[in-house]
Amino acid sequence: MALEKAFGRVLQEIRQERGISQEELGFESGYHRTYISLLERGRKSPSLKTVFDIAMALKISPSEMIRRVQARMGERQE
């Protein structure tokens, strides 16, 4: 799986585990809800700064988030 798509899946997964909406995550991280949506759909490629901002808002370590992205990238496409 490509990086952007894997990142989007992991982002959505963690956000849903936390039980928060795209709007709430946007508010917490300082990004617009539509940008969160684009990231989750793999339509935007985040900067490292964005990864850190979002991980902080999701209360997850950036390195743990990236570890999950790598695991996703290693999986077969559906």
Written as one string, the DSSP assignment of 63-77 is: HHHHHHHHHHHTSPP
- Nearest to 38, CA basis, from 25, 19, 28: 25
Alpha-carbon distance of 56 to 41, in angstroms, equals 20
- Residue from the set 1, 38, 51, 60 that interacts with its own copies by CB under 8 A: 51
| 49 to 1, 38, 62, 78: CA distances (angstroms) | 22, 17, 10, 29
47 contributes a contact to its own copies by CB under 8 A: yes
- Residue from the set 19, 48, 74, 77 that interacts with its own copies by CB under 8 A: 48
Choose the stretch contacting its own copies; rule: CB under 8 A; options: 2-10, 13-21, 23-31: 2-10
Cβ distance to its own copies smaller for residue 23 or 71: 71
- Which residues in this chain contact its own copies in the complex, by CB under 8 A? 3-4, 7, 45-52, 61-64, 66-67, 69-70
